[in-house]
Amino acid sequence: MALTPSQEIDKFINDLTDWRGKWIKQFRDLILKTAPEVTEEWKWGVPVWAYKGNVVASGVFKDHVKLNFFKGASLPDPKKLFNAGLDAKATRAIDIAENDKIDMAALKELVRAAVILNTAGKKK
């Protein structure tokens, strides 16, 4: 029986027994509280949160976690959270290593702005 996207994300987090799993869980909680309208999806083997299009995906690597904002280039980033993929045309990412401190309030603002951008961008 196939897992739902939320179950896939639960499994993804539970399979990561180190700091990366805790970080993804913390980010998941933040995004679901900040933007309850988002849906959880499972694409490309990673968690994706979407609302009227993809908002943000989370990937894990050996030494860091990546939060990839699909329309990050169009988002305000006054706290300079974006530190990866800065040359990409549309996306921007935040790479987080084990002991990095992230401004969670700024991250919430980025999530809200990304959801709002998707909402505004739907013109037929």
Which domains, ranges and CATH numbers included, belong to the chain? Answer: 5-118 (3.90.1150.200)
* Entry pTM: 0.94
Q: Which of 39, 59, 62, 61 is nearest to 51 (CA)?
A: 39
Please give the Cα distance from 109 to 106 (Å, whole number): 5
Question: What 3-state DSSP class applies to 116?
Answer: helix
CA 111 to chain centre: 8
Residue 17: per-residue pLDDT: 95
Residue ranges in the chain modelled with pLDDT below 50: 124
Strand partners, 49: 40, 56
Residue 124: per-residue pLDDT: 45
Half-sphere exposure for 32 (CA within 13 Å, toward CB): 13
Residue 1: per-residue pLDDT: 81
